[in-house]
Amino acid sequence: MFDVSCLAILRKWTVLPVTTARSVGRLLIAHRPSSSSSSSLASDQMVRVLNVAEKNDAAKSLADIMSRGRYNKREGLSRFNKIYEFPFSIFNQNCQMTMTSVSGHLLNYEFVGHYKKWYGCNPVALFDAPVEKKCLQDYTDIMRTLEREARGCEILIIWTDCDREGENIGFEVIGVCTTVKPLLKVYRARFSEITPQAVTRALNNLGMADRNVSDAVDVRQELDLRIGAAFTRFQTLRLKQVFPDVLADQLISYGSCQFPTLGFVVERYKQVQAFVPEPFWKIRVLHECDGEEVEFNWKRQRLFDYMACLVLYEHCIENPIATVVDVVSKPKSKWRPVALDTVELEKLASRKLKINAKETMKIAEKLYTQGFISYPRTETNMFPKEFDLRTLVGHQTQDQNWGGFAAALLERGPTPRNGNKTDQAHPPIHPTKYTDQLQGNERRIYEFVVRHFLACCSQDAQGHETIVEIDINEERFSISGLMIIARNYLDVYPYDKWNAKVIPTFNKGDTFQPKCIEMSQSETSPPSLLTEADLIALMEKHGIGTDATHADHIETIKSRLYVGVRDDGKFVPGELGMGLVEGYDAMGYEMSKPNLRAELEQDLKRISEGQKNKDIVLVEQIQKYKQVFIEASRQASKLDQALSQFFGDAQQVTGIDCQPGHSNPLCACPSCGLDMIIKAKRDGTGLFLSCMGFPDCRCSVWFPASVLEAVVDDSLCDMCTGRALHRVKFKFKPGSVPPFIPNEYLSCIGGCDPSLNEALGIAFPSRSANASFAGSHGRNSDSGLGSSLSAEMSRDSESTSTVTTQNGPGTSQGRNSSTRSVVHNSVTRNGPGMLATGNAQMRENTSLQNAVRPLGAHNGNNTVVCHCGQDAKLLTVRKEGPNTGRQFYACTKPVDSKCNFFLWADSTDTSGNDGGLAGSLSSVAPRNSFVQSQHLPFPANNSGNNDIRCACGNEAKLKTVQKDGPNKGRQFYSCAKPYNQGQCSFFQWADGHTGPSNPASASNRNEDSNFGRGFGFGNGQAGNGGGGSEHGRGSGYGRGSWKKPSAGGSDATPKKKRKCGLCGEEGHTKNKCPHK
């Protein structure tokens, strides 16, 4: 096989340098194989070359030219994009050419995960949301065709249009093909028309695809997506609620180009409406000579002062004799049209042919792909000096209408009138070959291009102008006449009018009596409304869009009903368009003005020229529009007020964006890095924390049903270092959380508030734990318990003593019964005949010797050591309360792996004694946290509770109620174990009373004086509720299924076996009774 590696740079997207391409270009079309040699070209020695055009029509025309009509057509995976194959000679080698196409852009930017959904996030998040460039759903077959064909080819030639969009499409094709074949050699063919000469030039000048030009398109596409999606969602979702009767089904889109375009229409309309006519006066002189009446124009034109004009008029009629003071004769020319570019084509087709710009460009694209005209999207209006105009003019000599003019033009030679613009890519629009087979508007557009081209290459129209000036009592008047000498280009260009004007013959010094001298009154007239041609001219002047997108933007504002078009072709704004512009203008941001978009277009041009980095432009523009959006959201009521003038009273809505389900991001996902937000379940029964990357990322945390509301606060947690984590405003069901956590609570779930995490049954992971985190949260979990268990498993990996909790035969297992639970310094087994975890009130407890140092022990340097055997960290309570400013020791490890060690700093003894330690544990931990102590391996020194033991047989722990209510500040005893390590349901008030500390409060509640509450926390499955005293009621705070325990507190009564309703025997029910 022919080795072309020396002709290309080996990299991911390998392309041929321009200098190298030109040096080998002379060998590109050495010969085309004849049909007799076609069979030999199918040998294994032939190089396979993949050619990709932008559209199927272009691919067919290119294949027809390169193969001289002898190509084989076969179907691709897309029925709209055929494959044309033919032998060819390139690089002095026999090649098998495969020509196919795409259908415009193959890839498109879109948001990932939940950001795609209208209610998936707050619109402001779209400015920073991740985007990806993916294949459009309808174009997957085209992409598969390219991948299949690229695998069997060694060379790729890009034949897309030579403009910004075409360059970007080319890089999309390169990316798809080089993904399946990285060492594919890539060339770029540049051409402006599909003719044999242009194709030959392109193959002789294969070069490098321009990355800068493609980058400019990527920036524009991403910005259009972010800006358009954010404002469109904001407008649509808000105004649907504000004006439900009018805009309920209306898509209210926004675009950084379409809004300035709308602004032009609104501005002109308001100028017309606000116009106040002003009267003016002028003097007219009429004279009749040889039966013809002519009018002389006043040199002052007009006066807005009636008295001043009246004085001058009376002065003239005092001596009404006119004297000819000057007669000037001079040649006059009417210039032929400049070479045709895209903007002029759109404007002239709209004015002269009454075909709108969208339809004009659609027809021009079709004529181009058929090879009748050159590329219609060009900014160039000047022909290069070496351009072969004679051949192009010669093609038109055979036409019956303009063939004679073309032949005369060939005799004297074409001399085009050039403008001063060039894009260095394409020549002006011109015909490439003759045809008389077109019909309808296609024929009209083709005829206009031909006539414009011939007129441009012709001569200016020539005439002779005579100007006569007269004097009437020192007031000057003048008249002009025109005599056409040579029509020239006007003979072929009927779209311009130049008429002769005959006036009598006057000689200098002649005098005459005018037929009439009069003073007439008139008034100023308002500016005319914009036509489509006027609108395109304004867009070009202010840099809104490009020549290729003007028609699309105009069509968009028409389809959205922002503007309407009258019968005379004038644009008028609709009520919705007028209201939007006035609303945004009232905010102080003139979004309907062209300034913002014009700056972007200039930056895109600099990117294309390599003068500016695309990433810098992207960041600058995103931040600029983001600030505008934030301010617009804040002042959204002004938008309502502006539209209420047209749609009636606005409905009152709450919030800035008025969009349900939106939440500020809580933090970055530890698994994929996207935002995590709090969302409601589909059935509305609970809340959960979800990654915006769903379904690709399934990282989530499920809150228990006790959480009624959870709103992400704007404030960041100052204790969670290393990551930005917002605090959350929780609202709990009354009685569903321990007494020292208020029903409305602002805190962080990152682990700095262990009591909250324990109450919710979650453990927020760090990045190092995202594997277990992501896999531990399924939709079958109601309270995030899986995350708590996985965190405990990772946390216990450093303990010197680990045992498992097993469910033996005959036990009733919970949902996660297969989970292996690792517990510190204790073992719990459910054997035969025992109740399952979550319902059991009695457990068999086996104490193990603790191999680690005692709680709060000191090392040789008098440093406090935690359970992990490492130096504890000294922290300070920041939350307002009785312990604000108090210092304590805690484990230094991350929250997902730290132990439960806690110790007040003022309770330690540098000698190594732990006097008062247990007493210190009864105080309130930082941020209202649970005291995370464990079963102590030594006797607790807690005065006042030496004789009080919990249901486990261990010393109970003294705690204090922090929750607002009748028992706030009251102390109570409970089990010292953590809730997920076998904590029993023991509860007892420290003051000996079983009711509230305020007797009046108790009587008001009509409760028994022996009332008590038990706060049971399950060990990983379901919660254990228990009675606080002999006659108390049990309240379970476990996560999962909950059953009301017996009144006996921890002494649960075994469940009775069911009996048959027919025979009364145990072991079966009446449905399965053998005696039926």
Q: CA-to-CA distance for 561 and 79, rounded, in angstroms? A: 35
Q: E strands within 241-311?
A: 279-289, 292-298
The pair of structure tokens assigned to 580 is 């939007």
Cβ atoms 434, 395 nearer than 8 A: yes
The pair of structure tokens assigned to 535 is 């609108």
Q: CA-to-CA distance for 159 and 155, rounded, in angstroms? A: 13
CA distances from 898 to 769, 796, 799, 841, 851 (A): 12, 9, 11, 29, 18
Report DSSP letters for 975-992, one per residue: -SS-TTTT----EEETTS
Strand pairing category for 826-830 and 292-298: unpaired
CA distances from 559 to 62, 229, 258, 567 (A): 36, 18, 11, 17
SS3 content of the chain, % helix, strand, coil (to 5): 30, 20, 50
Cα 429 to chain centroid, rounded: 36
> SS3 for 121?
coil
Angle at which helices 258-274 and 550-559 pack, to 10 degrees?
70
Q: CA-to-CA distance for 796 and 893, rounded, in angstroms? A: 12
Cβ atoms 116, 225 nearer than 8 A: no
Q: CA-to-CA distance for 923 and 992, rounded, in angstroms? A: 19
CA distances from 874 to 659, 863, 877, 917 (A): 44, 10, 10, 16
Question: Which residues are designated catalytic?
Answer: 375
Q: 22-48 burial, b if ≥16 CB within 10 A, otherwise e? A: eebbeebeeeebeeeeeeebeeeebbb
Q: CA-to-CA distance for 628 and 590, rounded, in angstroms? A: 10
Q: CA-to-CA distance for 68 and 196, rounded, in angstroms? A: 10
* CA atoms within 13 A of residue 516's CA, in its CB half-sphere: 11
Beta pairing partners, 731: 709, 744
Cβ atoms 848, 854 nearer than 8 A: no
Residue type, 585: D
Cα 513 to chain centroid, rounded: 77
Cβ atoms 534, 550 nearer than 8 A: no
Residue 552, sorted as left (phi over 0), alpha (psi -120 to 50) or beta, turns out to be alpha
Cβ atoms 312, 551 nearer than 8 A: no
The pair of structure tokens assigned to 938 is 């030594």
Cβ atoms 894, 766 nearer than 8 A: yes
